[in-house]
Amino acid sequence: MTATRVDIPSSAEPGATVCLREATAAGRSGHAGRAVLFVHGATYPGVMFDVPGASWMRRAVADGYDAYALDVRGYGGSTRPDCMAEPPEAGAPFCRAEDAARDIADAIAEIRRRAGVASVDVVAWSWGTMTTACHIAAGDSAVRRLVLFAPVYGVPNPDWVDGLSEPGQPNRLRRLGAYRTESQAQADARWAAQITAARADAWRDPAVLGAWFEAMQADEPGDVVRAPNGVLLDLWSAFNGRPRYEAARIQVPTLVIRGGADTTATRADGLALLDALGTKEKCYVEIAHASHFALLEHRRHVLFDQVAAFLDSEPD
């Protein structure tokens, strides 16, 4: 399996393009007859789902899907605004959940056309659960089943609020530039902080960490990953107990799934989201010994298996 890059026009921004990665089974004529879209989170682009040695897209293709991963504008191979070539402090935060929802709509329309399917399954991670839910809550009927993996919804998270606050001024969002950067060392530390085992490699392979960052740097001019800061406004709202979408408007069958050690997508938040969802076909799964980055960890097969079983299940 080799993922192919597809650039599609943005319906929201004239001249801009949205990048999709498409993966289909090698040697298969035509398409699989079903398709899944992976939607990334607040910091890392869609290649997160196709990391060598830990590719969820590869697993989806093996399960009989055409697999796609989206880069929201401002991320990865999609159009980056001019301000991302300037110092961060020179611009204002951009890219809110509603902006990403427009890109998700464009991606779903293109996938339906390319794969010849009437509907698409969607697997969203972290902030991507928020952006995808915003899109579906607006009335999209082309999503067949929805997976909200490591969701951020609307239960207060004091640790995150403290981390986003101005120093010495609790509960006041710190001043944000247009975007932020993250090095491999910072990503490593962020991930390792959620691993409760005595040694980080008990949960993850160091080679996967390197392959992940190398894959992301293919779309970066330097040795860091750049990400828009508008997403932090969305997270600030959610972590202060103000959901960014009406979960009651989500009527498609939905799986809420998270790692048991995840301190970003907490158990309380996941269960509150489960209760608030409007669909009658919904379930909650928690994976022990797994973090916010479960999709890249040793126990990712549990995550992949649970999601595959949900997507294959028949309606109640």
pTM, two decimals, is: 0.96
Give dist(CA 105, CA 120) in Å, integer. 11
Give dist(CA 269, CA 187) in Å, integer. 23
Instruction: List the structure tokens of 240.
Output: 């202060």
What's the confidence (pLDDT) of residue 57? Answer: 97
What's the confidence (pLDDT) of residue 112? Answer: 96
What's the confidence (pLDDT) of residue 139? Answer: 87
> Do you know the residue count of the chain?
316
Of 3.40.50.1820, 2.60.120.1600, 3.40.50.300, 3.40.50.2000, which CATH number belongs to 4-312? 3.40.50.1820
What's the confidence (pLDDT) of residue 170? Answer: 79
Distances (CA, A) of 35 to 59, 169, 180, 263: 13, 47, 33, 31
Reply yes or no on whether the pLDDT at 26 is more than 80. Answer: no
Identify the residue whose tokens are 């929805």: 146
pLDDT, tens digit (0-9, with 9 covering 90-100), for 46-72: 999 999 999 999 999 999 999 999 999
Instruction: List the structure tokens of 55.
Output: 């590719």
Average pLDDT, integer, range 160-179: 91
Residue 251 burial (C-beta neighbours within 10 Å; 0-12, 13-18, 19+): middle
Contact 67, 36 (CB under 8 A): yes
Contact 79, 103 (CB under 8 A): no
Instruction: List the structure tokens of 15.
Output: 């001249």
pLDDT, tens digit (0-9, with 9 covering 90-100), for 58-113: 999 999 999 999 999 999 999 999 999 999 999 999 999 999 999 999 999 999 99
Reply yes or no on whether the pLDDT at 42 is more than 90. Answer: yes
**Lowest-confidence region among 7-21, 166-180, 278-292:** 166-180
Average pLDDT of the chain to the nearest whole number: 95
Backbone φ, ψ for residue 222 (5° rounding): -135, -155
